[in-house]
Amino acid sequence: MRRPRAASADRTLRDLALAVVESADDRGVAPIVHAGHPVLRGVATPFDAQLDDAELAALLRVMRATMHAAPGVGLAAPQIGIPLALAVVEDPGMGSTDAAVVREREPLPFRVLVNPGYEGVGDERVAFYEGCLSVPGYTAVTARHRRVRLTGHDETGAALDEVLTGWAARIVQHETDHLAGTLYLDRAEPRSLAATDAIGARWAMEPTPESAAAALGFSLG
């Protein structure tokens, strides 16, 4: 039996989630909270049936619509103000461009991550420009594991235990970090920080950050 305090906390989370769903616009899009909001710095509560199946499905629809509208390739529940350990990811990829090949950016079909965790597979780390929907207007070089083992569950309760490589691994790390109160800027190379204006966009679109490192004076490790 759950303690009354835990049950009360679950009701609060449920009410908050339902309020966010209810407040979504006619496209099903919710506002994204930005850096400085406390929800982005807390550890998300593990999902444990705080929402029933229909309520969870409605929340996931809002999260997916919000991710697409931004547009982005991942969104964690804290980014719309809900401290639950849920995330959605989806990436159409970058086709056959040089950047796609170097970054190993293959299409990632839509999927839901429930209580996800990851660990690096091997010692290899790769550094590329990365951005965040909760830190609009900026991008920075962030070194991450090239390969990770993803664990957790999907929205049906099926267990996840798989190895991801390249950009898919980066997306999973980024979104799972959100659930631990970590922003990509906590892991980024400070001197690489660039506004997403003409210059910053150019750095972010180059296959590797080598030109940016030379121009801005930072090391790629």
Q: Which residues does the annotation place in the binding site?
A: 132, 174, 178
Q: How big is the chain, counted in residues?
A: 221
Annotated binding site for Fe cation: 132, 174, 178
Which burial class, exposed, middle or buried, applies to 176 when counting CB atoms under 10 A from its CB (0-12, 13-18, 19+)? Answer: buried
Q: Report how far residue 23's alpha carbon sits from residue 178's, in angstroms, rounded to the nearest whole number.
A: 22
- Pair of tokens at residue 105: 């950016």
Q: Are 39 and 33 spatial neighbours (Cβ–Cβ below 8 Å)?
A: yes
Q: Which residue bears the tokens 């499905």?
A: 57
Instruction: Answer positive or negative: Cα dihedral of 98, 164, 58, 182.
Output: negative
8 A C-beta contact, residue 128 and residue 104: no
SS3 (DSSP) at 23: helix
Tokens representing 38? 């406390």
Task: For 89-111, give one letter per residue: b (16+ CB within 10 A) or e.
Answer: bbbeebeeeebbeebebeebeee
Q: Which residues are catalytic?
A: 175
Which residue type sits at 183? Answer: L
